[in-house]
């Protein structure tokens, strides 16, 4: 009888051998694949960043500047980011982001393999690159550690990092890191900064449609920008809303209302635009002390002396004053025309349009069409029209002064929610103005305007412009003589005089070409008489006068020539204003300061500044000079300011040919200086004195600055003063230029 083995067909034995060989081959193949995979993972992970660093990770943050009431006035940042906690992101925003970017965020372990396989299939069938499979965790890994290029190598690293991140951090922690890190367009990073930029409010206050709009931006902040591409942004927003509806996060009724809502942006004003010259001074100081990286990435808190309300008043006063000056001198034209320069109207964008316009603000506008009776203008997203009545002040016909493509200068009268605006035609002939206001008690700079338009000229006419100060220099002459014991009731002879100099006779004159004979020092200063000032300077010696000016904080090198007494000396507005604060401060000068305190990201104080006080003149001299400068306002060249409902004193200044107009003045609590002129030192025009061009700006600012405040009163000077300033006609050295008023 045959065994069972012997009865088996030969083919079955061969089949077992074949199966064994196949199984062995498969095992070898699996081993090769495992080995290859391990090798690839080893290669791709040798330079993989350590996610441990995330525990101490702090993203680049904004350095913010605050005014004296802790309102934001400026910021410095490479990435505009405001870091907040998980609870600061409202549920509606979290739901919107998860629905559109990563539906399984709270369920997966960092990688969604189903999405990866689906994306890989699409890539293979379409012949494209890997796309569309990243979870929020993978996006976070890419943003923090990897390059943005799309490659298999990067995708593997992204996956490995995502798995590590998920193992070490909770979902709320991962979401917070992502939501603070992601780029959202127009220089904003993170949803808090984006909410503040696009809607002028914190993320906690976002509505459904607003949250959906922001949640749609990570896919393409530039492509879906609601500013540059509102149609695309709205479609993307509605896609997010639909995704939320599919996920059951909102009801159909809520979705319908949100989809029908318009893009109601409320763009935040650039805080740096309020006091750009002040902010720029602080930037230079901080970078010099702490370094650019710390300033632009370190999240410093800088507490300054500025007052937002006073700064707004200063901006308005300077611009209104320059507009009044321009109208006094008629239409000059010479407008830039973008059509003539080969530009396309629809493509033109003026730097002024970067910031949101404000009512009563001044802006450059593009003439999009011009006819015989009307011209249409555009600035930013606003449209306006000008008729003949609106340009009547020019004395010309509308068709003759505005052409299609012209870039004109206008004042904004109204702004409508529908993009319609009303404007008045103004002119920018190049005239400049600057203003500085200092708190007498602390030396804190409360307002600072360095020019008409920071976008067009970053040259700071407060700290950088050296200009002749005209008669505003004369108080140093009178301070010198008073400090030597003279009285404001002493007399001096105002008469024709000639001084012999090495270059020949110097025969000065008064502004009005008249002479008053014997007058008191008080009246001579109030009426800004040139001859008395020169005689007094000649009596005490011009070098003594210069020494006194230096004690007041004037650092400019002043030539020892007699005409310096009339203001033939170039000084900055910063130094001149600071010097004048000595008078209401009873002879003490408080060094001007911008900053009170700087803290780091953790709140540690890096520096704290306190008033720096220097004695300059005696209390007696300071009070006498204050009373004399008060006379300038009550009965002299600054009499227009006498109508102010609080005590002020000061001095006008005008240089030869009306190239520089000044008014330096003060109340018991604040000192303010104003300069008006052209950068190239050309004439402002006939009769454009300090009293005419600068004083109105000063008055408008001080009216706002003192409103609702106790301005106080000046301290009375000593009662008994007896000394005589004798008339002396001794020659001095060669003259420079002569002051006019």
**What confidence tier does 733 reach under pLDDT thresholds 50, 70, 90?**
very low
pLDDT of residue 44: 47
* Alpha-helical runs (H) found in 8-90: 10-45
Partners of residue 304 on adjacent β-strands = 595
Per-residue pLDDT reduced to its tens digit, 140-150 = 888 776 555 55
Checking if the pLDDT of 739 tops 60, the result is no
pLDDT value at position 155? 63
Q: How many CA atoms lie within 13 A of 629 on its CB side?
A: 36
Annotate 469-495 with b (16+ C-beta within 10 A) or e (fewer): bbbbbbbbbbbbbbbeebbbebbbbbe
Is pLDDT at 296 greater than 50 in this prediction?
yes
Whether pLDDT at 427 is above 60? yes
Q: What is the DSSP letter of 571?
A: E
Distance CA(457)–CA(276), nearest Å, equals: 11
Residue 731: per-residue pLDDT: 35
* pLDDT for 257: 96
Q: Which of 61, 99, 434, 471 is catalytic?
A: 471
Q: Can you give the pLDDT at residue 347?
A: 87
User: What are 634-649's pLDDT values in tens digits?
Assistant: 999 999 999 999 999 9
- Among 40-54, 220-234, 573-587, 700-714, the range scoring the smallest mean pLDDT is 40-54
pLDDT tens digit string along 57-75? Answer: 667 788 999 999 999 999 9
> What pLDDT band is residue 355 in, cutting at 50, 70 and 90?
confident
Sequence-distant (≥ 6) Cβ neighbours of residue 607 within 8 angstroms: 289, 595, 597, 598
Both structure tokens of 479: 């301070």
Q: Confidence class of residue 593 from pLDDT cuts 50, 70 and 90?
A: very high
Closest by alpha carbon to 368, among 342, 341, 406, 396? 406
Catalytic residue among 64, 101, 158, 281: 101
Judged by average pLDDT, the poorest of 157-166, 227-236, 336-345, 560-569 is 157-166
Instruction: Please report the pLDDT score of residue 317 as a whole number.
Output: 98
Which range among 148-162, 523-537, 652-666 shows the weakest confidence by mean pLDDT?
148-162
CATH class of the domain whose range is 330-428: mainly beta
Q: What pLDDT is stored for residue 10 in this prediction?
A: 54
Instruction: Give per-residue pLDDT as tens, 457-511.
Output: 999 999 999 999 999 999 999 999 999 999 999 999 999 999 876 677 889 999 8
* Domain ranges (residues) in the chain: 4-46, 83-269, 330-428
DSSP three-state, residue 596 = strand
What was the pLDDT predicted at 15?
Answer: 64
Active site annotation includes 158: no
Categorize the per-residue pLDDT at 4 as very low, low, confident or very high, splitting at 50, 70 and 90: very low
Beta-bridged to residue 597, according to DSSP, are 303, 608
How far apart are the C-alpha atoms of 491 and 199, rounded to whole Å? 66
Instruction: Identify which has the larger pLDDT, 158 or 415.
Output: 415
pLDDT at 149: 57
Residue 279, phi then psi, degrees to nearest 5:
-60, -40
Question: In the structure, what pLDDT confidence band is assigned to residue 157 with cuts at 50, 70 and 90?
Answer: confident
Q: What percentage of the chain carries pLDDT values higher than 70? A: 85
pLDDT in tens, 78-94: 888 888 999 999 999 99
The answer to whether residue 434 is catalytic is no
In this predicted structure, what is the pLDDT of residue 738?
38
pLDDT at 737: 36
Pairing type for strands 670-677 and 660-666 reads antiparallel
Can you tell me the mean pLDDT for 312-340?
96
| Residue 279 CB neighbour total at 10 angstroms | 23
pLDDT of residue 418: 84
Is the pLDDT assigned to residue 3 strictly greater than 60? no
Q: Does domain 83-269 have CATH number 2.30.30.230?
A: no
**pLDDT of 133:** 61
Residues 508-525 have a mean pLDDT of 94
Least confident segment among 378-387, 466-475, 725-734:
725-734
Looking at every residue in the chain, the average pLDDT score rounds to 87
What's residue 504's pLDDT?
77
pLDDT (tens digit per residue) in 391-419: 999 999 999 999 999 999 999 999 998 88
Question: Token pair of 556, please?
Answer: 């400019």
Whether residue 722 is predicted with pLDDT greater than 80 in this model: the reply is: no
For helices 474-483 and 619-635, the axis angle rounded to 10 degrees is: 140
């Amino acid at each position: 009888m045959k065994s069972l083995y012997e009865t088996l067909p030969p083919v079955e034995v061969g089949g077992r051998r074949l199966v064994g060989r196949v199984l062995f081959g498969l095992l070898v193949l699996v081993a090769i694949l495992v080995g290859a995979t391990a090798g690839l993972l080893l290669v791709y992970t040798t330079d993989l960043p350590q996610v441990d660093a995330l525990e101490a990770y702090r993203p680049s943050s904004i350095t913010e500047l605050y005014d004296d009431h802790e309102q934001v006035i400026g910021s410095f940042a490479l990435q505009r980011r405001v870091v907040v906690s998980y609870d600061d992101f409202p549920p509606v925003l979290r739901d919107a982001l998860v629905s559109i970017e990563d539906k399984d965020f709270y369920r997966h372990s960092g990688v969604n393999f189903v999405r990866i396989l689906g994306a890989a299939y699409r890539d293979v069938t379409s012949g494209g690159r890997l796309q569309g499979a990243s979870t929020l965790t993978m996006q976070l890994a890419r943003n923090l550690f990897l390059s943005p290029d799309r490659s298999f190598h990067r995708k593997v690293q992204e996956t490995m990092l995502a798995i590590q991140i998920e193992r070490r951090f909770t979902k709320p922690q991962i979401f917070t890191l992502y939501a603070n890190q992601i780029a959202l367009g127009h220089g904003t990073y993170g949803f808090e900064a984006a909410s503040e930029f696009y809607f002028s409010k914190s993320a906690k206050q976002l509505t459904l449609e607003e949250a959906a709009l922001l949640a749609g931006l990570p896919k393409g902040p530039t492509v879906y920008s609601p500013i540059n591409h509102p149609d695309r942004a709205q479609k993307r927003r509605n896609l997010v809303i639909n995704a939320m509806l599919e996920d059951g996060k909102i009801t159909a009724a809520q979705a319908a209302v949100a989809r029908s809502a318009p893009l109601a942006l409320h763009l935040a004003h650039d805080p740096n635009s309020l006091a750009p010259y002040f902010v720029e001074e602080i930037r230079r100081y901080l970078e010099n002390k702490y370094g650019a990286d710390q300033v632009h990435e370190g999240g410093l808190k800088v507490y300054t002396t500025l007052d937002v309300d006073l700064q707004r008043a200063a901006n308005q006063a300077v611009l209104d004053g320059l507009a009044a000056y321009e109208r006094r001198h008629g239409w000059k034209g010479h407008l830039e025309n973008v059509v003539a320069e080969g530009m396309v109207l629809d493509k033109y964008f003026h730097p002024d349009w970067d910031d949101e316009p404000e009512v009563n603000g001044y802006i450059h506008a593009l003439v999009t069409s011009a006819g015989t009776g009307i011209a249409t203008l555009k600035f930013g997203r606003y449209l306006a029209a000008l008729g003949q009545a609106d340009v009547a002040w020019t004395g010309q016909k509308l068709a003759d002064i505005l052409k299609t493509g012209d870039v004109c200068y206008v004042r904004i009268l109204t702004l409508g929610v529908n993009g319609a605006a009303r404007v008045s035609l103004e002119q920018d002939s190049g005239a400049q103005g600057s203003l500085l206001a200092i708190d007498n008690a602390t030396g804190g700079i409360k307002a600072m305007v360095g020019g008409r338009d920071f976008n067009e000229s970053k040259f700071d006419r407060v700290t950088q412009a050296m200009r002749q100060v005209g008669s505003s220099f004369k108080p140093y002459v009178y301070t010198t003589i008073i400090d030597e014991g003279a009285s404001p009731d002493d007399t001096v002879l105002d008469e024709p005089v000639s001084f012999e100099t090495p270059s020949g006779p110097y025969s000065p004159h008064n502004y009005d070409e008249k002479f008053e004979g014997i007058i008191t020092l008080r009246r001579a200063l109030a009426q800004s008489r040139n001859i008395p000032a020169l005689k007094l300077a000649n009596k005490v010696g011009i070098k003594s006068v210069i020494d006194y000016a230096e004690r007041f904080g004037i650092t400019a090198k002043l030539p020892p020539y007699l005409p310096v007494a009339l203001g033939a000396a170039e000084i900055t507005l910063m130094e001149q204003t600071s010097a004048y604060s000595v008078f209401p401060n009873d002879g003490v000068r408080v060094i001007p300061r911008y900053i009170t305190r700087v803290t780091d990201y953790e709140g540690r104080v890096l520096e704290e500044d306190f008033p720096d006080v220097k004695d300059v003149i005696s209390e007696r001299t300071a009070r006498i000079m204050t009373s004399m400068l008060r006379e300038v306002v009550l009965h002299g060249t600054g009499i227009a300011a006498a109508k102010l409902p609080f005590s002020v004193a000061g001095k006008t200044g005008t240089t030869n040919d009306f190239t520089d107009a000044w008014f330096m003045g003060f109340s018991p609590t604040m000192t303010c200086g104003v300069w008006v002129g052209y950068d190239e030192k050309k004439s402002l025009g006939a009769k454009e004195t300090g009293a005419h061009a600068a004083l109105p700006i000063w008055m408008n600012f001080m009216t706002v600055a003192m409103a609702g405040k106790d301005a106080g009163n000046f301290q009375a000077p000593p009662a008994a003063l007896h000394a005589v300033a004798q008339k002396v006609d001794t020659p001095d050295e060669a003259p420079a230029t002569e002051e006019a008023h």
